[in-house]
């Protein structure tokens, strides 16, 4: 009394588990190499694939001609000078109106009010 018998079939059966274990290459426990971090190129491909999967649109497709675009740089939040330089180069920079208080990128909205 108190003993339970559980039978496993298919994928979880002892026979199938044993067959899978035999096919797996045996490695000593201490010699397992840590996974290598992805290269920058691989990371870009994964990033684009995830965006494409979630939003069902290819972020690297040119909106004008649909050819493949390349990522040349990532601009971080606190790089306002870089953003201004790029927009000035493209002729898209507009000077803010005089007397306008611009909050810094590190300042939170609720602190500015």
Count of structural domains within the chain: 1
pTM to 2 decimal places: 0.35
Range of the domain at 73: 40-93
- Residue at 6 is within a domain: no
- Residue at 69 is within a domain: yes
What would the pLDDT profile of 31-75 be if each residue is shown by its tens digit?
Answer: 566 677 777 767 766 877 888 888 888 888 888 998 988 877 778
- Residue at 66 is within a domain: yes
- How far, in Å, CA of 77 to CA of 100, rounded? 21
| Nearest alpha-carbon partner for 80 in 62, 60, 107 | 107
- Residue at 64 is within a domain: yes
- How far, in Å, CA of 16 to CA of 73, rounded? 49
Q: What angle do CA 48, 54, 55 make, to 5 degrees?
A: 85
What would the pLDDT profile of 18-35 be if each residue is shown by its tens digit?
Answer: 898 888 876 655 556 667
- Residue at 30 is within a domain: no
Question: How does DSSP classify residue 64?
Answer: T
């Amino acid at each position: 009394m108190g003993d339970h018998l559980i039978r496993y079939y298919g994928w979880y059966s002892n026979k199938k588990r044993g067959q899978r274990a035999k096919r797996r290459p045996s490695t000593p426990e201490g010699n397992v190499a840590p996974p290598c971090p992805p290269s920058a190129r691989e990371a870009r491909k994964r990033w684009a694939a995830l965006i494409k999967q979630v939003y069902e649109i290819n972020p690297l497709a040119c909106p004008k001609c649909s050819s493949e675009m390349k990522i040349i740089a990532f601009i971080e939040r606190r790089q306002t000078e870089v953003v201004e330089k790029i927009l000035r180069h493209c002729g898209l920079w507009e000077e803010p109106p005089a007397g306008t208080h611009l909050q810094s990128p590190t300042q939170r909205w609720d602190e500015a009010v």
